[in-house]
Chain A
Amino acid sequence: MSKSEFDRRDFLKVMGVSGVAATVAGCDMPSYITSEEGAEEVIPYLSPEEYVIPGVGVWYASTCLQCPAGCGIRGRVREGRVLKLEGNPTMSLNSGKLCQMGQSALQSHYNPDRLTTPLMRKDGALAEATWEDALALMEEKTGPSSGISGHRFAWYTGSVSGHQNVLLKAHLEAMGSSNHFVHEVINTRVWQAVCKEMLGQSMPTLRIDKAGLVLSFGADFLGTWMSPIQFSAQYAAFRSGDERGMLIQAEPSMSLTGANADLWVAVRPGTEGIMALGLANVLIHKERMDASVLPPETQELIARYNVSITSRITGIAGDRLIRIARHLKNRSPSLVLAGGPAAGHTTGFEAVQAAMMLNILLGNVGETIEANADFAFPQLAALGGGTTDLNRFAHAAGSGQLDALFFDGSNPLFGAPDHMNLNEKFDAIPFKVAFSTFMDETTARADVVLPIASAIEDWGTHVAAYQNEQHEIAFQQPLMEPIHPLTRSFGDLLLALNAMRSPGTYDEIDDYYGYLQSALGAIPGVLKGEDAAEDDPLDIQLWNQILQDGRLEVPAETSLFTTSVSIKDITSPPTDEAFPYYLVPTPRSSLYDGRHANLPWLQEAPDQISKVVWTSWAEIHPVTASKLGLEEGDLIRITSASGVLEVPVYIFKGIHTDVVCVPMGQGHTEYGRYAKGRGVNPLKILDPGEDTRTGELALYGTRVGLAAAGRAGRMVKMGNTESQHGRKIVATITAEQQRRNEGES
């Protein structure tokens, strides 16, 4: 309980001196606890705002920036501090729900490892500096008189949208460059490219809730794929309808979605597309489905993948393929999704194409895959990242094409495989500026580090890449004043940079808040009436309403699908004597791509599959374990052509026998006290290789050799047994019974 009230500013000043631990604990200053009289101070507000009542929380809407899905949040603010986040019920994207990564945004904000002052490199090391000096150096190196121009300047960011994107673009234009690298390890670029080619639009609306059956090739739509919160809500409806929807997940190692499936199928990595072709073969040749929607070449290709050939390549029993095909036909409309491991090969595009072909064959397009619209304001639409940009950047940096780089919201040096030699290439760029909240691997090698406000302290507008039929702009507003007085809003800095390059353009505007207001005011009918003149004042009530809702609805005019099917054959990965296994570096809805490794709540949250906390582990099948002579917790040595990892093993059956899965997220060499020096980063030992059509890195195409390291590792796991010891905590049936339910004799 709290009996103290602080003036918000005074409070923040005190916090700046005394550290954040007390704030995290939610207790009064000082941070020791006593009820002794006269021992603690209780400092009242100097002059409180009308609506502030100590002890009573007020909820404000904002946007979650913990992953690119862009869900709406509401934060409970009390005595000037944000205490709890929940989903914003008015956002159609996540309708009031929030995942554990979203909940943990608080720890990102209150994190004791936040960057608090600007830093500049002096004599090889980063040292504290003033904003004036940092900005002066930036002006010297990238200002109008610096001589830098054109493509020798670049921005490197994570997925970005809304007005931040507008200002980034304006800055690039002013610099005369079009070099904007947008990096996101976990992305849906291959899916989007396939949708664009086969349906004519890259982000159709998915309706899991309307499907009788969902067949997902590796798309972890309940965990990390595209818009997991929205899909979880759809999934709940899908499972609780009159006829319970059936979920079949085919993937090399079990994801959170896979763990929820009625039927989980272990598929050999890189053969998911062939499985889709084989299913089409059964549907056409055994189930007599009309194939006339497919062009003759595609039908010919499908004809080549009969059950026995498909079964041999994918490792899935023929009768199982037949049963899945039958379910697909009988539970129409179905929905076939593909992503993650299915898309992460050199043939990823073709695999996702094959999955989409199934949707067309099964008549799902128009039923469970609905046409969507382009975002009405293209300048605000999401610029979704990918790994193609990492590759492009490595090439540009390595060939000396860049003189100056600004980066924000991305950590390429953590995400880049060792074979790219990105550290050296990065160091070779003469001037690098980090806009960061934490000292991550990339920030640590910058020449200037600018401490920016946390997502909870800043303004912004965001447009999620995946929008359902109801398009919206999500609003980010500060839920509290900055904890650290020397941090700056990213939007304010973008304005300052633009003013530096194009003096006079933003003279009328005080700050990013003012910029957002005037930018929205310029859209007819948003902050003024439809017929208002340009200099009519803004309707501040409308502005307040938008902030209260945390969103602005945007009209969406649906365009029609233009279906075209022209799929290519898929070469399955060859056998490799030296490296007989496949490395599967899956993301989890906790540490994600590693950006959340500095949040203790997420480190502490048991992994959804293995229940391991605070470290890395490798998942292998019991058959593989016994072949290698490994028991749970023993160290396994994973060797690829590009590097070696040693990590404790977790043995379970939800994985293909030829696969080792090491979740991504750990293995930081920087990134604060909770992340640094913990576990291993599987991305480091990936082999070169990219999807031939999109250029996305083949994240799941690395071949490895496995061996016992001969030592026990250290792995903390919740619930140290896989058995219920007869207690029936969760109702189970035998595999045999399940097979009978499935229709097997």
Chain B
Amino acid sequence: MEAEAETCHPRPRRSLALSLWTAMMVVALILGNALLAKPSLADEIMTPRKQVPSAFSGWLDEDVGPFPGVVAPEGTYEGKDVEQPIEFPHDLHTATNKINCLYCHTYARRSAVAGIPPTSKCMGCHSIIATDRPRIKQLTEYWDKGQSPPWKKVHDLPDYVRFTHERHLKKFLFDNPDMTVERVDEVCALCHGDVTKMTVAKKQKPLTMGFCTRCHQANGGTFDCQKCHK
């Protein structure tokens, strides 16, 4: 469906997308940043959106998002500091050591869930790397007891929502000719914020229905109710 729409009506789609994008920016400016920063769930759901015509589905040709081929979803969120059993430094792994997100969250490309890495994966490195650090000693203690650390969930959606990491990575990364897998952190950042600058992960995007639908509208995602609420 999407591919068909793209080949048949490329130009009208792009111009409509751009005008919608402009319109959204205007609305955003008028309403002000505060509203977007702390939206209530009701506001999010009620955010006006037009029915997306079928021609409007597919990729933008220009670099209007944070990376080629995507319009970033609107909205930010001031998440809580979550106390984890071990204070896991995302920045150290991703920014300093340049480990790809998908190395640890390996299921994201194959499943609905990204998956917390199995403890065996942590130990794959940390049975030899940084074994003298306090946090690694903590981890090793769990491992020796045959347990995984009881991590706290930071990002979650209600059970009536079916979100799939696999589908989103396919669209934004693997089917996107202008992206490379090395830049996957930019794709993750759309919903998880810039993890390369965090230690323990913190929720930075509202992950509400409004947030999802704005992104779907801007990027030609589905508006079929039962795709997400099945």
Chain A residues at the B interface, C-beta cutoff of 8 Å: 1-5, 7, 10, 27, 33-48, 53-56
Nearest B residue to A41 via CB reads: B150
Does B154 interact with chain A (Cβ within 8 Å)? Answer: yes
Query: In whole angstroms, what is the CA distance A40 to B111 when docked?
Result: 21
Q: Which of the residues B147, B159, B162 comes within 8 Å of A46, measured between beta carbons?
A: B147
Interface 1/0 per residue, B110-127 and A, CB below 8 Å = 111111111110000000
Q: List 24 A-B contacts (CB under 8 A).
A: A1-B113, A1-B161, A1-B162, A2-B113, A3-B113, A7-B148, A35-B158, A37-B82, A37-B152, A37-B156, A37-B202, A38-B82, A39-B153, A40-B156, A43-B150, A44-B116, A44-B117, A44-B118, A45-B119, A46-B146, A47-B120, A53-B107, A53-B111, A54-B107
Docked-complex contact B151 and A43, CB < 8 angstroms = yes
Interfacial residues of chain B within 12-46, with CB under 8 A of chain A in the complex: none
Query: In whole angstroms, what is the CA distance A10 to B146 when docked?
Result: 9
Query: In whole angstroms, what is the CA distance A27 to B83 when docked?
Result: 23
Please give, as numbers and ranges, the residues of chain B lying within 8 Å of A33 by CB-CB distance.
Answer: 158-159
Docked-complex contact B148 and A35, CB < 8 angstroms = no
Nearest A residue to B161 via CB reads: A1
Q: Which of the residues B82, B112, B154 comes within 8 Å of A1, measured between beta carbons?
A: B112
Please give, as numbers and ranges, the residues of chain A lying within 8 Å of B113 by CB-CB distance.
Answer: 1-3, 5, 54-55
Q: Which of the residues B79, B107, B116 comes within 8 Å of A42, measured between beta carbons?
A: B116
Nearest B residue to A42 via CB reads: B153
Instruction: Return B210 CB to nearest CB of chain A, in Å.
Output: 15
Please give, as numbers and ranges, the residues of chain B lying within 8 Å of A44 by CB-CB distance.
Answer: 115-119, 148, 151
Please give, as numbers and ranges, the residues of chain A lying within 8 Å of B146 by CB-CB distance.
Answer: 46
Main secondary structure of the interface of B (DSSP, over half): loop
Please give, as numbers and ranges, the residues of chain B lying within 8 Å of A40 by CB-CB distance.
Answer: 152-153, 156
Q: Which of the residues B79, B80, B112, B203 comes within 8 Å of A55, measured between beta carbons?
A: B112
Please give, as numbers and ranges, the residues of chain B lying within 8 Å of A37 by CB-CB distance.
Answer: 79-80, 82, 152-156, 202-203
Interfacial residues of chain B within 101-146, with CB under 8 A of chain A in the complex: 107, 110-120, 143, 146
Nearest A residue to B117 via CB reads: A44
Docked-complex contact B159 and A10, CB < 8 angstroms = no
Please give, as numbers and ranges, the residues of chain B lying within 8 Å of A53 by CB-CB distance.
Answer: 107, 110-111, 115
Please give, as numbers and ranges, the residues of chain B lying within 8 Å of A4 by CB-CB distance.
Answer: 116, 153
Does B1 interact with chain A (Cβ within 8 Å)? Answer: no
Does B225 interact with chain A (Cβ within 8 Å)? Answer: no
Please give, as numbers and ranges, the residues of chain B lying within 8 Å of A5 by CB-CB distance.
Answer: 113, 115-116, 118
Given A3-B156, A7-B148: A46 and B112 interface contact (C-beta under 8 Å) = no
Docked-complex contact A54 and B148, CB < 8 angstroms = no
Docked-complex contact A38 and B83, CB < 8 angstroms = yes
Does B163 interact with chain A (Cβ within 8 Å)? Answer: yes
Main secondary structure of the interface of A (DSSP, over half): loop
Query: In whole angstroms, what is the CA distance A7 to B121 when docked?
Result: 13
Does B8 interact with chain A (Cβ within 8 Å)? Answer: no
Query: In whole angstroms, what is the CA distance A657 to B155 when docked?
Result: 65
Query: Lowest 9 CB-CB distances: which A-B pairs, in order?
Result: A38-B82, A55-B111, A47-B120, A55-B113, A35-B156, A44-B116, A55-B112, A45-B118, A42-B153
Docked-complex contact A48 and B112, CB < 8 angstroms = no
Does B157 interact with chain A (Cβ within 8 Å)? Answer: yes
Nearest B residue to A45 via CB reads: B118
Q: Which of the residues A36, A42, A48, A55 comes within 8 Å of B118, measured between beta carbons?
A: A48
Query: In whole angstroms, what is the CA distance A10 to B143 when docked?
Result: 13
Instruction: Return A83 CB to nearest CB of chain B, in Å.
Output: 14
Please give, as numbers and ranges, the residues of chain B lying within 8 Å of A7 by CB-CB distance.
Answer: 148
Instruction: Return B96 CB to nearest CB of chain A, in Å.
Output: 23
Docked-complex contact A46 and B118, CB < 8 angstroms = yes
Query: In whole angstroms, what is the CA distance A7 to B120 when docked?
Result: 11
Query: In whole angstroms, what is the CA distance A46 to B119 when docked?
Result: 5
Instruction: Return B161 CB to nearest CB of chain A, in Å.
Output: 7
Given A1-B162, A5-B116, A33-B158: A54 and B151 interface contact (C-beta under 8 Å) = no
Nearest B residue to A34 via CB reads: B156
Query: In whole angstroms, what is the CA distance A1 to B163 when docked?
Result: 8
Docked-complex contact B158 and A38, CB < 8 angstroms = no
Please give, as numbers and ranges, the residues of chain B lying within 8 Å of A47 by CB-CB distance.
Answer: 118-120
Query: In whole angstroms, what is the CA distance A47 to B119 when docked?
Result: 6
8 additional contacts (CB under 8 A) given A42-B116, A43-B151, A55-B107: A33-B158, A37-B79, A38-B154, A44-B116, A46-B146, A46-B148, A53-B115, A55-B111
Docked-complex contact A56 and B152, CB < 8 angstroms = no
Please give, as numbers and ranges, the residues of chain A lying within 8 Å of B148 by CB-CB distance.
Answer: 7, 10, 43-46
Docked-complex contact A38 and B152, CB < 8 angstroms = yes
Please give, as numbers and ranges, the residues of chain B lying within 8 Å of A35 by CB-CB distance.
Answer: 156-158, 207
Please give, as numbers and ranges, the residues of chain A lying within 8 Å of B82 by CB-CB distance.
Answer: 37-38
Instruction: Return A528 CB to nearest CB of chain B, in Å.
Output: 36
Please give, as numbers and ranges, the residues of chain A lying within 8 Å of B79 by CB-CB distance.
Answer: 37
Docked-complex contact A56 and B110, CB < 8 angstroms = yes
Docked-complex contact B151 and A42, CB < 8 angstroms = yes
Docked-complex contact A1 and B83, CB < 8 angstroms = no
Nearest B residue to A5 via CB reads: B115
Please give, as numbers and ranges, the residues of chain A lying within 8 Å of B110 by CB-CB distance.
Answer: 53, 56
Please give, as numbers and ranges, the residues of chain B lying within 8 Å of A10 by CB-CB distance.
Answer: 147-148
Interfacial residues of chain B within 80-100, with CB under 8 A of chain A in the complex: 80, 82-83
Query: In whole angstroms, what is the CA distance A406 to B34 when docked?
Result: 74
Nearest B residue to A56 via CB reads: B111
Query: In whole angstroms, what is the CA distance A34 to B156 when docked?
Result: 8
Given A33-B158, A46-B146, A56-B110: A41 and B119 interface contact (C-beta under 8 Å) = no
Nearest B residue to A40 via CB reads: B153
Query: In whole angstroms, what is the CA distance A56 to B107 when docked?
Result: 9
Instruction: Return A680 CB to nearest CB of chain B, in Å.
Output: 40
